[in-house]
Structure formats: structure tokens, C-alpha cells
Structure 1
Amino acid sequence: MSRTRRCVAGLSFAIGAWAGVFACSSDDIIYAPGRDSGADSGHDATLPPDDAGDAGTDAADAQTPGDAGDAGDAGPAGWLLFSFSDGTKGDLTAYNLASRAVEGTPLSYSGFGTTYIDRAPSGAVLWNLEQRIDVVRKLDPRAPWQGGPSWNVRLDDRPDGGDQYADPVAVVSGPAGKAYVLRFNRNALAVIDPEAQGDASAPIKTIDLSRFVEGSDSDRRVDMAGAVYLPDRKRLYVLLGNIDLNKLDPTRFLLLCTTAKPRIVAIDVETDTVVSPTGGDAGADAGDAGDAGDAGDAGAGAFTVDGFNPVFNGLVYDAPRDRFLVLSGGCNEPPTDAGAGAVRRRQVDALDPNTGRSETLLDLTAKEYPLSRAQTDATHWALGFGSEAFLWDVTTGALGPAIPNAPQSFVFDGRQSLVGTATAALPDGGSESIVLSTPINGGDSTLLGPIPFTAPGQFIGGLDFWSPPQP
């Protein structure tokens, strides 16, 4: 899921995920630093403003529904899962790609949220993250608009002056009977029993990660941004962003660079304790793990990478090459009289989990903020930067071919196309917000229809693609 999350004032948002899109949610924060030119590149990736113009996806470039041919061409049987909100109420809407219509009755909840697909080794699990009220809800895989058992992960560990809600951003399965809930606004993982069948069940325990707070980080949060469970290692690897949300450019609300680096910590899933990522003593420094030791005790037992501001769920295990990949949105150098400085540390890092050695694999500082990411096969990602998208071979250090007329925010339909949202120009000079399908290897885009908002004044809080399991 690629997500655009967190917004304050004019602050643009960061996204990231395995195969979906996310949007701005209430007083969550987001940081999509501007280009080197100093112009703010941020705009709503999922629903650009109506005055955004063509944005590279003019309706004239897309086939009309009447020209689209068989509706099944849009992708395999499945749904685009839209998370809508007006700030006070959220709706999960399942848009059937074959029928091009909303299926079932939207699932409503308080506040705002998004969906999350846990691609567990035992099979994918679909969750609804009701973030404003700190509820994570398992959904019916054959009817995702239907709610199921839920867990409340707010707990009582809100720091003085901290955000009221814990902000769950992912639910990652571990061994049988355990799933780990990442809470962006807190410093402890919540552990739940994913087989419990109650409503708003409590976690069975928590795992404290506060020892990894950067010494100079004035917001005193580790900023959990993603996690991966590797059963053969019996480890849960958790990505900590280590950004300081108090370090913003005061004129344009851009995230400013600090000396901190994202960290990856390891949890032994048998004991639910922090251990060394390489299998040694958790109290020892990770050795060659970048500059982990520079942070003092906070760096002990952690890997580091050189990017900054990792996108949500931007930690990916690249199994064929036995390495982690981390996508970071970057930051701006501290401001001068002319405003925030140049973009830095927007990149993809590769990290060896056996040694902790990392390297910058793909430099993205010349691009806009990476608003969308979707893995299309074991070797390729589609990366979207708002007005342009590219196919990237992860074995190389350069972006590959452009994907013409790609949606401005997208997910992969599991077969051949990127499906997502865009702004289409109308003949009368206006524009409309649409659902668009674009083949990853070229070909005409298909206009599937308007975005199926359920009420006026809503924004998009998330976008995922879900295909029901086969009988």
C-alpha cells in the first residue's frame, strides 16, 4: 500500500507502502519536501486540487468508458479499497474493478483511517486502521466492506503533551497467536492475538522501543514507519524514522534535515524482546551498521541507513537478494534568508541484514516526493512522483522507463496495470477527479469512472487493491 499520510497546515505528506496509496488525515503530519528550486512540490496525491490542471493525465489521453472494451481489462477480480473521511467520519468503500461500481455498503467508523494489507507468509490479511480512535479491525477477505473482530491499541502511554491518538499504521503478523501493531505516535509496539474474536479487544502486551529515541530529537518519538517479519530468522524488523516533527521550515512547513538516521531494530518473536539485528548481544553496537554508534546508547543494537524521512511501510525485504530496501522521502536543508534549502537524502537504501552494511542504491533527489510505490514483480517497482511515474529494476541504480499517463497515486492490480486516482481536464476548462487504469508496459489508459465519494467534503485517506482468495 502506498500511502500519503499526515498533514499539518501546508505541510505536504509522506507516503509509502507495499501496494497502495494513502492520504492526509486530520492533524497527522506529513512531509514531502520541495524541489531544489525551492518550489513546494506537495499536493494531494490522491485527490489533487481541482485547479491542478492537466497534471499529465488529461481525460483526452484516456479511453472513455464506452471505448474501454471489456470491463475485466481493468484487472483481475477484485476491489479498489477507498478510505474516505471528512475528518469526523470515515468510510471504507469497495469499488469493484470489473463492474466499475461500489459493492456492498461502505463500512463507517469515527474519525479517519486507512486499510493495510499484511502480506504474511501464511497468507495476506486485510485490516482496517481506524486511526483517530486507535482501533484495528480485521476485514472479511471475501467481502472487505464488512467489519470483523477489532482491537483497541490506544493504551495509557500517551506522553505529556503528546497526540491524543496513538495512530496505528500497520499490523504485521508474527508466529501463531501474535500480530504486532505499529503506533506512530507512541514508542511501544502493541502485541495482539489476531485470532481473538471480540470487539475492541485489548493487546496482550507491549514492547518498549523508547531506548531508541535519538538524543537530540525534541519530539521524543521513534516514529515507527514499517516492519517486516522473517519467519526463518524468527525476527520482526521494525523501521524507526527518527524524524523530529518540531524541526520544520516555518514558512512552508517542510521537514528539515537533522543528523539522525532511520534505524532498523530487531524483535525476537519468541521472547518479544529487542535483540541485535545480526544475532549477537542486543546491548552491543551493531558494528558496521552504518553510523549507528553515533547516536550513543540509542544506536546500540540497531542498523541504520542514510536516507531521511522513510515513507510509511517503506521497509521491504527483497528476498531474492536477501536484503532490505528502504524508501525515504528526504528532507530540506535548514533555511537561509531565501527559505528552506535543497532536498537531501531522498533515496532508496539497500541493507544487508547479515552484516548491517548499507548503501544508497537509488538517488531520487532530482525527483518530486515519491507519492506512490507498488511492487509489480520480484524485480520491479513502479515509483510515482505525482506528475510522473517510472518502472524501476531493483537490481540497478537508475530509474527505468517512464509509465505514460500513470495515475497520480496508484496501486498495482496484480496483473498488468497501475490503478488509481488522477485529475482529468474537461473540455470546458474545468476538471474532475477520476479512477484511471494504466498498463505498466505502455498502452492506452482506461478511464474507469469518477472517484466514488460517499459524501460531499471528503478526502481520500487510503487506497489499496484487494483480490479475494481463491476457493
Structure 2
Amino acid sequence: MSRTRRCVAGLSFAIGAWAGVFACGSDDIIYAPGRDSGADAGRDATLPPDDAGDAGTDAGDAQTSQDAGDAGQPTAWLLFSFGSSASTGALVAYNLGSRAVDGTPLTYSGFGTTYIDRSPSGAVLWNLEQQIDVVRKLDPSAPWQGGPSWNVRLDDRPDGGDDYADPVAVVSGPAGKAYVPRFNRNAIAVIDPGAQGDASAPIKTIDLSRFVEGIDTDRRVDMAGAVYLPERKRLYVLLGNIDLNKLDPQFQLLCTAAKPRLVAIDVETDTVVSPEGDAGADAGDAGTGAFTVEGFNPVFNGLVYDAPRDRFLVLSGGCNEPSSDAGPGPVRRRQIDAIDPNTGRSETVLDLATKAYPASRAQTDATHWALGFGSEAFLWDVTTRTLGPAIANAPLSFVFDGRQSLVGTTRATLPDGGSESLVISTPINGGDPTPLGPIPFTAPRQYISGLDSWSR
């Protein structure tokens, strides 16, 4: 897969507002199925796609399962997205009760991931077929079954830009509208989520090109996610403002003076407005239609509205300072920022510069997140400015199961020194992990491009 420009320094995708694995369109967290003889499982959670080999389970031949959970309990799935830049991607629904694949995997060209839109009217599950710019509704009772779809590629490719627009989310707005931020473009696509066709066209776009930074040589705003607040009648869109032409020889993203911005859109008129209304001078960017964020390289869908405290939280993966040495310079601006939507005031509430790239985030209750940094994971009380206790034996990438555990993927060391890629469940309050089975790879040379959880 050729996504280096997007995946440098752990650029991120995200998988939903409450729980998700962050990867580049979800594809910079890559695990090989089956045995990886001689690999050091504790050293590096990523493997190149070609290491996927032939050892994985063919989900197309996997047993179709029924929910094996307790009577009356909802069916819970771990949703694996498998990608391939040259052939077929697939969505595989792994039943956590029966520990088997349900249904026939949903296939599509290239790579993609899932996205859960948690709108006030109810959660909607989407499949983002990112390489071909299709967003597709999924059946909530059978998430491997696709429904109506929309093509959001449009004809606004910038000179020298990627041919695919790369949708990162589908966010419900008022009746008849949903908003699709696209990482590789400078305009949001607006679709009618009630349409029932296949590859329907957007009904309009919202141009954000005015927010391209003057020093940004790739001339893109790098949309990284969005949140709709119906009580404010505003859609808030996070712009990364990174420069993908600024890489060191090892493809680490270099810091620039640009800052991410949080843009507000009036959903009644679909126009950019001053996000804080008439809040006054404290907003800093009052009148420009954007708040600034102090971090750098926000992870995909790392924008979260913290309703109990009426603030936005933005998780940023950071960047490396330029260095004259062979290796990258020190990490900067890897952090979580809080933004007051009433004033635009931004402050860093958690400094993560000493940690590895934040590859996973899962909200476990109203005041706690689980944060994963490769081989480490911690609980964070969002009302504090320090990480809480470590989560022993956490998966290398994970989602929250809605009860008491993190569920995801890891690599277990075998007696002969090799390793095996597994699905495991680990209690968030500590304890031994429960192995749930091998990762259900669908075909050789595919890689994990997304991980999510869904229950019905």
C-alpha cells in the first residue's frame, strides 16, 4: 500500500467518537497473522503488509456463527477492516460471544475502515471505503451487510494531490444532511443520509480552502474529524494543517509553525461562522471562523466533545524537530488540548511527549479514557493532568467492550521464541488477558486497516 505521505509519524485514523484505534486510515498498525518465527513480540507492534503471509485464517471459509453470549445479552462484534492497496479490502465481523466470524465479509477495492456516528437520534455504523471514496451505511443487526452508499470523490483534486479524497468520518447533522470531512481535499462533502441509491452524489460541498496556511506547501487543510452539537447548531471540523512535504529521511513528520484549527459551520446555512459567536477578544481568532489548537498532527477523529465539562478535547500525535543527525529530532506537541467553545481558549491538559505515538483511545466512562502507546496502556481521568495507572497486559491496539474490558489485538510469544497474533480481552482494572482466538485475516498480504466494536 502506498500511503507513506499520510502515515508518516503515526498519522491517524479513527474509529468513532467513543472508542477506536488510531491509524492512518487505520493502516499504520499492521499485524501479521499466525506465526512470525523469531520476532520480538515486545519490541514492535507493526509489521510491513508483506509479512501477512499465508498463515492467516481465511474468513471467507470461516464458520458462520450465532451469538454464544448469555441469553438476553446483545450480540457484540469486533469489526476488523482489512486493506490492500492493490486488490480487495474486507470488513470482517468477529463475534465476541462465539469467537467466530459472522456472515460473509463485505469486500471492496483497496483499503478502508469503519466509523460509528453517534448522533443524538442514535448511532449509525458506516463503512468508509477510502481508496475508492465510497461511504456506505451498514446493517446495524448484521454489520457485514452493506446498504446504500455515496461517492464523495468529486472533481476537486488539487494539483499534484492524491487521486482519492480519503473520507475520514460521516457526521449526522440536522434532518436530511450528513457531513463527510475528506483528508485529501479542502471541501467537506454534504450528503443526504436518507437516500437509498448506490454511489449517490453529494448534495453540496463546503469550501475550507481559506484555512490553508501560507507556509503549508502541500496546500491542504488536512481534515481530521468533526463533531456536531445540535444545541449550538454548529458542526465543528478539525483541520490538521500539517505539511506532508516536510519529512525527514526516515519519513518522520517534521514540526512547522502551523497550528491545527477548529472551524465552526452553521448547519442551517452551511457556512463558516465565528465559532464562539460574540464571545469577544478572549477567543483569539474571533471573527476568523476558527480556534487554534496547540498540539500538532491530530489523530483521526481525535476531536471529542466532553459534554460534562463543555469543552472539546483534541488528541495530537505530535511531530519531530528537524535534526542534522541521521535520526529524527525530539518529539514535540504530542498532547491532549482542551478548547473552550465559548471563548476559544486552548490549554494543554496532558503532555504525552515522553510516550510513543497514541495508537489507541477508548472512552470507558464519563470521566476516563484508556490510552494505548504501543506496548503501554494507561487509564486517564479527564479531569486531571497526569496519566493514571498502567493497564497490565493491554492489547497493542484496542477498543472498549462496553463492560469492563479492552478487546483488541496483540502478539503472544511462543515457547520456541516465535510469536502469534491473537485477539484478546483484558480487564481495564488489571488482570490476566483472555485469549479469544487468532486474528481472522481474509487473505494473504492483507493488513489491518481498522478496528472497531459494535453491539446490537
Residue ranges of structure 2 left out of the alignment (5+ in a row): 46-66
Match of 1:81 among 62, 73, 79: 79
State the Cα distance separating 1:14 from its structure 2 match.
2.5
Structure 2 counterparts to residues 273-352 of structure 1, below 5 A = 273-280=271-278, 287-289=281-283, 292=285, 300-352=288-340
Say if 1:6 and 1:355 are closer, same or farther in 2 by CA, change over 3 A.
Answer: farther
Aligned counterpart, 1:177: 176
| CA–CA distance in structure 2, aligned partners of residues 278 and 52 of structure 1 | 52
Aligned counterpart, 1:128: 127
Aligned counterpart, 1:21: 21
| CA–CA distance in structure 1, aligned partners of residues 119 and 355 of structure 2 | 32
SS in 1 for 2:170: strand
Q: Partner letter of residue 404 of structure 2?
A: Q
TM-score of the two chains, using structure 2 as the length reference? 0.89
Paired residues of 1:171 and 1:182 also in contact (CA < 8 A) = yes
SS in 2 for 1:183: coil
State the Cα distance separating 1:288 from its structure 2 match.
3.2
Structure 2 counterparts to residues 251-290 of structure 1, below 5 A = 252-280=250-278, 287-289=281-283
| CA–CA distance in structure 2, aligned partners of residues 210 and 225 of structure 1 | 15
Say if 1:214 and 1:195 are closer, same or farther in 2 by CA, change over 3 A.
Answer: same
| CA–CA distance in structure 1, aligned partners of residues 44 and 100 of structure 2 | 22
Q: Partner letter of residue 364 of structure 1?
A: L
- Does residue 1:462 correspond to 2:445, yes or no? no
Structure 1 runs, 4 residues or longer, greater than 3 Å off: 5-12, 22-26, 44-52, 70-73, 286-290
| CA–CA distance in structure 2, aligned partners of residues 97 and 364 of structure 1 | 32
| CA–CA distance in structure 2, aligned partners of residues 47 and 379 of structure 1 | 34
Of the structure 1 ranges 343-352 and 330-339, higher mean CA displacement relative to structure 2 is found in 330-339
Paired residues of 2:9 and 2:253 also in contact (CA < 8 A) = no
Aligned counterpart, 1:193: 192
Q: Partner letter of residue 448 of structure 2?
A: I
SS in 1 for 2:308: helix
- Does residue 1:54 correspond to 2:41, yes or no? yes
Structure 2 counterparts to residues 138-157 of structure 1, below 5 A = 138-157=137-156
Aligned counterpart, 1:41: none
Paired residues of 1:57 and 1:423 also in contact (CA < 8 A) = no
State the Cα distance separating 1:300 from its structure 2 match.
2.0
Paired residues of 2:117 and 2:172 also in contact (CA < 8 A) = yes
- Does residue 1:7 correspond to 2:1, yes or no? no
For residues 275-302 of structure 1, the C-alpha deviation after alignment (integer angstroms, 9 at most, x for no partner) is: 0001149xxxx84345x48xxxxx9221
Paired residues of 1:6 and 1:25 also in contact (CA < 8 A) = no
| CA–CA distance in structure 2, aligned partners of residues 378 and 46 of structure 1 | 31
Identity of aligned residues (%): 79
For residues 413-464 of structure 1, the C-alpha deviation after alignment (integer angstroms, 9 at most, x for no partner) is: 1111100011111111111111010010112210000000011111001000
Paired residues of 1:289 and 1:355 also in contact (CA < 8 A) = yes
Q: Partner letter of residue 236 of structure 2?
A: Y
- Does residue 1:166 correspond to 2:202, yes or no? no
Aligned counterpart, 1:394: 382
Q: Partner letter of residue 288 of structure 1?
A: D
Residue ranges of structure 1 left out of the alignment (5+ in a row): 31-43, 59-69, 294-298
State the Cα distance separating 1:255 from its structure 2 match.
0.3
| CA–CA distance in structure 2, aligned partners of residues 374 and 330 of structure 1 | 19
| CA–CA distance in structure 2, aligned partners of residues 233 and 107 of structure 1 | 37
Aligned counterpart, 1:450: 438
State the Cα distance separating 1:21 from its structure 2 match.
2.1
Aligned counterpart, 1:418: 406
Q: Partner letter of residue 212 of structure 2?
A: V
Say if 1:345 and 1:413 are closer, same or farther in 2 by CA, change over 3 A.
Answer: same
State the Cα distance separating 1:25 from its structure 2 match.
5.9
Aligned counterpart, 2:248: 249
Paired residues of 2:30 and 2:447 also in contact (CA < 8 A) = no
Superposition RMSD on alpha carbons, in Å? Answer: 2.4
State the Cα distance separating 1:11 from its structure 2 match.
3.6
| CA–CA distance in structure 1, aligned partners of residues 152 and 301 of structure 2 | 19
Paired residues of 2:246 and 2:253 also in contact (CA < 8 A) = yes
State the Cα distance separating 1:6 from its structure 2 match.
4.9
State the Cα distance separating 1:318 from its structure 2 match.
0.2
Say if 1:277 and 1:310 are closer, same or farther in 2 by CA, change over 3 A.
Answer: same
Q: Partner letter of residue 276 of structure 1?
A: S
| CA–CA distance in structure 1, aligned partners of residues 30 and 404 of structure 2 | 22
For residues 245-264 of structure 1, the C-alpha deviation after alignment (integer angstroms, 9 at most, x for no partner) is: 000012x1100000111100
Aligned counterpart, 2:208: 209
Say if 1:420 and 1:378 are closer, same or farther in 2 by CA, change over 3 A.
Answer: same
| CA–CA distance in structure 1, aligned partners of residues 39 and 341 of structure 2 | 43
